[in-house]
Structure 1
Amino acid sequence: MGIVTPLKTAAEQQLVQQFADIKAELPGGPAVRKLREDAFAGFEVRGLPHRRLETWRYTDLRTLLREAAPLATGPRTLDAARAKLAGLALDATVVVLVDGAFVPELSSLEGLPEGLSVQTLADALVSGRDDLPRVLAGPSVAADDAGLMLNAALMRDGSFIEVAAGVELEKPLAIVRLFSGEKEISVYGRSVVLVGDSAKATIVEINASLGKAPQQLNVALVIEAGNETEVEHIRLVTDQSEGSVGVFSLLATVGAQAKFDSFALVCDAATVRQQHFVRYAGEHSEVGLRGVNLLGGTEHSDVTLVVDHEVPHGTSRELFKSIIGGEATGVFQGKVIVRQHAQKTDGGMKSNALLLNDGASMFNKPELEIFADDVVCGHGATVAQIDGEQLFYLMARGLPRPQAEALVLQAFAGEAVEFVQDEALRDVVMAKIEAWLGAREASSVVSAV
């Protein structure tokens, strides 16, 4: 069956014009230019993802993006970004992107550890390296995603980071994406982290808006973890300006006898779609994808993942916790694919949500596609309210209801947070969760009065 091409919306027409206007000035040699052209041709056929596509059923970009915001050209001032970085107080090697542009003066590029190299994506795209098209493409299960096609076509900058084989980074590597929020813009960026064999690294993504203007964000992180590597990835999507729409993609390829863990926290966001595409490129590897979504008001968080077991003896675990209040919406779409030759695969996937009131909603759609016969795989999803017995136990010991609810919710989210290996980062995540719960507790007290 051929692809039906619908009439283009105003946003799609504007995106076509934007690409035509800037494609000549976008960085990249012949191979990258071809990648861009092919990606945009695929996007033109498909258009913005919409609810008639099963994988985008609950997050209709065609409806959300009525107009395509002007493309970001880089920050006018860095004052707000400096203040934000000072508040983060990161003990890490920091790479800073503001409105999609790599900002060397805010990044910690001097005195990098031996075996760690950092350059801008723009420089990497014109470097002529033979492996660039393959690296940028990521796992094959991501090839048909129209959102990623648009990202590949319009990516202007980002970071390109390499960790040499055998290197163990003592400090986390933080990719901090800040969005000025001074005016409505769209940002398309892609960052790459290549981790050599037997190396160990912790990678942190921080995404936050600095102002109040809505943003249209489409950013991706590509991670290639070699054989016998240990990689931990933490993503924070917080402080998004009202009316913003963000697509955050992770494209990970994991080698043999490797361990790859990813955790994502979404809170104080507007409309967020997280995409995880993970490919097993070697046997006897373990992958864990986990996260917490804290939603209120009219916020929307969509977690969509595809885990592709291409080889035998792979272990995968997915656990996502959602706490949803107001009229917010949570989405979990998880697919684990076990290929015909991927025998001895062990997969387990769970999504648990707590709805705090009648207006909140959660959509769960876990899937298994198994073509092998010697596997152990399962999935489960629950949607519930706060356990009344737990509340009664705490309130019977003198705790007010808002405080009792906060403790129950903290424990619920903590089941996913405990998988964060880096203790300092685990504390950062828990502090943000406690702050969100504290703000909710305070508003509950005010409402009761």
Structure 2
Amino acid sequence: MNASVPIKHTQAENDLFDRFDGAKGGLSGSVAVTALREAAVDSIRSKGLPHRRVEEYKYSDLRAFMKSAAPLAAAADADSVKAALDSHETFGDLDRFRIVIANGAFLAELSDVDALAAEGLTVTSLCDALAGEQGGGLLSAPKSGDGDGVIALNTAFVQGGVVVEVKDGAELSKPVELVQVAASAGAQITRNRIVVGKGAKLRLLETFVGDTGKGELNTVFDYNLADGASLAATRLIVGKSEAARLFTTVAKIGGEAEFKSLGFIAGPRFTRNQQFIEFTGENSEAKIYGVSMAGGDDLADQTLVVDHSVPHCNSREFFKTVLDGRAKGVYQGRINVAQHAQKTDGEMMTQALLLSEEAEMANKPELEIFADDVICAHGATSGQIDEDLLFYLRARGIPEAEAKTLLVLAFLAEAIEEYGEDDVTEGLEARVRDWLAGH
């Protein structure tokens, strides 16, 4: 007979339980949603926050990092939100539609709701959807992420977000930016359901503005691609922050569909960008890219699971990491191929560039294959700047600092340019230069 030993809760975990008890009445949702929230908190009570003894968090110990947990952010002041948006220049003058979430709540009055509707996209409040009969389905966990601690935190405390639906055959004339604004300190917990209809095409920019103080940012993007749909999602996790930045992608890809994403990390103290991708229809393709930059004592974690559940699908994963100071980079990638998923083609590559002797990179690419007619491969490299290339540039009169910048930019630009969204490339490469200027 095995008896479970109760864990000793940390200060952060006790803060979370107090947060839940204090906020429970103000968190929206149907009876089913409330039950899911309570089950998520019970899971945290029994397991604690994710820690190094959990295999998926071996290199990113959230329990050790979170010393306390701040209350949820209060309702945002409209003037503060407008001021934050006015100073938001991530993509310069790129013409785009905008959906605004501030302190966890959808702000329709600051979003291009009418213009989007005219192009075939509807956007509604997640809070309203959670209160409906189908609300519980919006908080479902991915197949490979069931029991994940970060998703459990999101389920327990989700304040709001949006439900975006693109009608069949629609192709928007310009990208859609979903921007989350911290108008004041406090934890922000959001979830966004993005449904792309049959044959529809959407380009999505996911950005964040402001500082949550000691409160974590935990957001889930739940993508559903119908047959023949296309989605390109660019995620920026940038700016200094001493609180955890926790991002989760859940994607289900229908038949003959195309999913493409880029996760860009630069600046926060502790970042985990995790993705759970599942093919549910045949003859589809997923291209997943990642660019991470970390310095000082920062940690940048890119974690990825791709489930090839059906035959005749292709996936490509390409991740680049640059580390300076005592920073730590993490890449955990796994391709799962089911027994009946014949004719699968999957390739995974992660490459790291270490700019200091104290920087550390943990690479963990994996393949789990149960089919026999497949093409799958993975690779990982870590190294320093090529001294021969550096000498070549310096011999032509380029100062050492500038030469290093050019080499690092070229290293990261390979992933950015292969991603292929030309209208965001300039903004992303400008972010790389900004980061390098500070290191």
Question: What's the counterpart of residue 34 of structure 1?
Answer: 35
1:42–1:439 CA distance, 2 compared to 1 (3 A): closer
Post-superposition offset of 1:99? 2.0
1:22–1:439 CA distance, 2 compared to 1 (3 A): closer
Question: What's the counterpart of residue 164 of structure 2?
Answer: 161
Post-superposition offset of 1:139? 2.4
Post-superposition offset of 1:105? 3.0
Q: Does 1:133 align with 2:136?
A: yes
Q: Residue type matched to 1:179 in 2?
A: A
Q: 1:57-76 to 2 correspondence within 5 Å? A: 57-76=58-77
Question: 3-state SS of the aligned residue for 2:262?
Answer: strand
Post-superposition offset of 1:21? 2.6
Q: Residue type matched to 1:107 in 2?
A: S
Structure 2 stretches lacking a partner, 5+ long: none
Q: Residue type matched to 1:98 in 2?
A: A
Q: 1:249-260 to 2 correspondence within 5 Å? A: 249-260=248-259
Higher mean Cα deviation, 38-47 or 189-198?
38-47
Q: How far apart, in 1, do the equivalents of 2:15 and 2:295 lie?
A: 32
Q: Does 1:148 align with 2:151?
A: yes
Structure 1 stretches lacking a partner, 5+ long: 441-449
1:73–1:391 CA distance, 2 compared to 1 (3 A): same
Q: Residue type matched to 2:244 in 1?
A: V
Q: 1:42-191 to 2 correspondence within 5 Å? A: 42-76=43-77, 77-85=80-88, 88-112=92-116, 113-128=118-133, 130=134, 132-180=135-183, 182-183=184-185, 185-191=186-192
Q: Residue type matched to 2:359 in 1?
A: A
Q: Residue type matched to 1:103 in 2?
A: L
Aligned residues of 2:196 and 2:230 also touching (Cα < 8 A): no
Q: How far apart, in 2, do the equivalents of 1:135 and 1:347 lie?
A: 29
Query: What do the CA deviations read for 1:89-113 (whole angstroms, capped 9, x no partner)?
Result: 4521111112212223322223223
Query: What do the CA deviations read for 1:172-230 (whole angstroms, capped 9, x no partner)?
Result: 111111223x54x211111111111111001110023347x343111111111111111
Question: What's the counterpart of residue 447 of structure 1?
Answer: none
Question: 3-state SS of the aligned residue for 1:205?
Answer: strand
1:103–1:90 CA distance, 2 compared to 1 (3 A): farther
Aligned residues of 2:81 and 2:181 also touching (Cα < 8 A): no
1:2–1:423 CA distance, 2 compared to 1 (3 A): farther
Higher mean Cα deviation, 91-100 or 408-417?
91-100
Question: What's the counterpart of residue 226 of structure 1?
Answer: 226
Aligned residues of 1:306 and 1:335 also touching (Cα < 8 A): yes
Q: Residue type matched to 1:116 in 2?
A: L
1:91–1:58 CA distance, 2 compared to 1 (3 A): same
Question: What's the counterpart of residue 314 of structure 2?
Answer: 315
Q: Residue type matched to 2:264 in 1?
A: L
Question: 3-state SS of the aligned residue for 1:312?
Answer: coil
Question: What's the counterpart of residue 405 of structure 2?
Answer: 406
Aligned residues of 1:3 and 1:45 also touching (Cα < 8 A): no
Aligned residues of 1:208 and 1:240 also touching (Cα < 8 A): no
Higher mean Cα deviation, 289-298 or 138-147?
138-147
Query: What do the CA deviations read for 1:311-370 (whole angstroms, capped 9, x no partner)?
Result: 111111111101111111111011111111111111111110000011111111111111
Aligned residues of 2:30 and 2:136 also touching (Cα < 8 A): no
Question: 3-state SS of the aligned residue for 1:297?
Answer: coil
Post-superposition offset of 1:396? 1.2
Q: Residue type matched to 1:175 in 2?
A: L
Give the length in aligned residue pairs: 434
Q: 1:373-392 to 2 correspondence within 5 Å? A: 373-392=372-391
1:179–1:266 CA distance, 2 compared to 1 (3 A): same
Post-superposition offset of 1:293? 0.7
Question: What's the counterpart of residue 274 of structure 2?
Answer: 275
Question: 3-state SS of the aligned residue for 1:268?
Answer: strand
Question: 3-state SS of the aligned residue for 1:419?
Answer: helix
Aligned residues of 2:280 and 2:310 also touching (Cα < 8 A): yes
So what's the TM-score if we normalise by structure 1?
0.92
1:247–1:86 CA distance, 2 compared to 1 (3 A): closer
Question: What's the counterpart of residue 329 of structure 1?
Answer: 328
Q: How far apart, in 2, do the equivalents of 1:20 and 1:402 lie?
A: 53
Aligned residues of 2:306 and 2:334 also touching (Cα < 8 A): yes
Q: How far apart, in 1, do the equivalents of 2:106 and 2:368 lie?
A: 40
Q: How far apart, in 2, do the equivalents of 1:90 and 1:23 lie?
A: 40
Query: What do the CA deviations read for 1:98-152 (whole angstroms, capped 9, x no partner)?
Result: 2212223322223223321011111221233x3x433432521111101101101
Q: How far apart, in 2, do the equivalents of 1:152 and 1:2 lie?
A: 28
Aligned residues of 2:9 and 2:48 also touching (Cα < 8 A): yes
Q: Residue type matched to 2:158 in 1?
A: M
Give the aligned CA root-mean-square deviation in angstroms: 1.9
1:376–1:2 CA distance, 2 compared to 1 (3 A): farther
